[in-house]
Chains A and B, each alone.
Chain A
Amino acid sequence: MVIIFPSKPSLLAGGVVAGPLEDRSTFKQYFDTVYDDERWQMDTNEQGHRKMVEEACEFVMKKGGITTAEVDYLLGGDLVNQMTPTNFAARELAIPFIGLFSACATSVSAVIVASLLTELGAANYSIAGASSQHNAIERQFRYPINYGAQKPQTAQWTVTAAGYALVGKHREDAPSIEAATIGKVIDYGMDDPFHMGAAMAPAAFQTIKSHLDERKQEIYHYDLILTGDLGQLGLKLLKGMLVESGIKNEELTLLRDAGAEFYGQDESFQSGASGAGCSAAVFFSYVMQELRAGTYKRVLLVATGALLSPLSFQQKETIPCTAHAIEITMK
């Protein structure tokens, strides 16, 4: 399941834009912009969602010092049905585009595909990432925004953010992708859509475990293993599973979760953040900048996705989940 990239494609630039509520994020200082209107001055949430994707990609190109004409591929997705926000953003950007859906694991699956295209020599520059807009996603997966339903402590909050990265040929001064693991779809019989961390933790465990095993690595070979959006409870469950498999407790401090940390300790967000934009926003801002700064030398990013739909849930199906990982190093 592990893919090795001999040419080590690099993450040349990252673009992250977030919504007004994300002003409260602990990662806020790393974002390129925090917009004060969740609809980006558009008429609908979905249009705002599209605008957000466009802006993130524009930041990527600006920071990478390239124009749309130089970008060979755009790879990305979101959680709205048929991924219209990303598809429509691709229409505006006019870059050859493939939409990808791995739910909240899309950020990493897009980077994997972009790295493969780079490795193949088919692309000089690709833009890869994912996004989510709270209102557009909530209305689709749960209730109307203003409906007064009580969320349990296990629930997570879909973030409004888009995170994209510029993937290109290896550069010494940029974080580079050494290897990747494409995850299996794992289902441990969890069926509560308000407890997604519990559904996704086994997928994250499986991917981390097989990546480390196949690469003959231990957790301490990394400076950071960051999962996408397990939330506080999901992270605890992942750690529980790792301990069970014989990992020492000391090593577990290297394990963190973007969703658990996204809104800090604010209890109004229950178990933490989620959404395709959550891992994308943290990976392509905080992690990339810290790698560039030399804080981390080797990082494993594990984006996790719950592959459910409101229909599958109502038809009493359990929640299958996946997790994809990329191993990023910095000289």
Chain B
Amino acid sequence: MEKEQYQQLEQNITPPTPYLKNAVKAFVVGGLICTIGQAVSLFYIVFFNFTEATAGNPTVATMVFFAMILTGFGLYKRIGQFAGAGSAVPVTGFGNAVISAAIEHRSEGLVLGVGGNLFKLAGSVVLFGVVSAFFVALIKYILVTIGVVSW
């Protein structure tokens, strides 16, 4: 059998990726995680001295803490298998990427293991996040300077 013919056979037999089903699952779980995040944010605003602008940091820390507990007990990967991008995109997914790498590489020691591999998966998120934030800010700064928009 020729390669092209085989690739055709492979396409026919392999079930198609259920994009719609995946998108719905990701939407529901991602939405649920964000709703919990909103509740945590409100909690800090109502019960502590935080404003809408300052509640972000403790909220993120709390959500990452939840992600850490779930990752440690091996539950986050199960959520991930179900939700896909729904649990990968929110900050809990970032936490999971960092924490899972830390757990994984603990056996190679704290410096070369945990330290060296902590950002193995999340490193590119940090890198491209910072770079794109810089350029977005630069564009806005130019637009404000020439008077198109205001801060």
Contacts and interface: CB of A to CB of B under 8 A. Distances in A.
Contacts of B84: 150
Nearest to A150: B84
Interface stretch (B38-46, B50-58, B71-79): B71-79
A295 interface: no
Contact of A233 (B5, B13, B103): B13
Nearest to B5: A244
B107 interface: yes
Given A143-B100, A147-B96, A147-B97, A152 B17 contact: yes
A4 interface: no
Contacts of A43: 107
B6 A241 contact: yes
Interface string A241-267: 100110000000000000000000000
Contacts of B74: 145-146
A149 interface: yes
Contact of A144 (B15, B79, B103): B103
Contact of B104 (A144, A152, A153, A205): A144
Main secondary structure of the interface of A (DSSP, over half): loop
B119 to A, nearest CB: 12
Interface in A129-153: 139, 143-153
Contacts, number: 95
A237 B100 contact: no
Contacts of B87: 148
A45 B103 CA distance: 12
Contact of A237 (B9, B22, B96): B9
Interface residues of A, number: 32
B63 interface: no
B64 interface: no
Contact of A147 (B3, B14, B101): B101
Chain B residues touching A, range: 35 or more
A139 B121 CA distance: 12
Given A139-B104, A202-B6, A241-B9, A150 B71 contact: no
Contact of B80 (A149, A190, A198): A149
Contacts of A46: 107
B14 A145 contact: no
A195 B15 CA distance: 11
Given A146-B74, A148-B88, 14 more contacts: A44-B107, A146-B103, A147-B80, A147-B96, A148-B80, A150-B22, A153-B17, A154-B14, A154-B15, A188-B3, A189-B7, A233-B13, A241-B1, A244-B1
6 contacts: A145-B74, A146-B72, A148-B96, A150-B85, A188-B6, A195-B14
Interface of A: 43-46, 139, 143-154, 188-190, 195, 198, 202, 205, 233, 236-237, 240-241, 244-245, 268
Nearest 7 A-B pairs (CB), nearest first? A148-B80, A144-B104, A146-B100, A150-B84, A144-B100, A147-B100, A44-B107
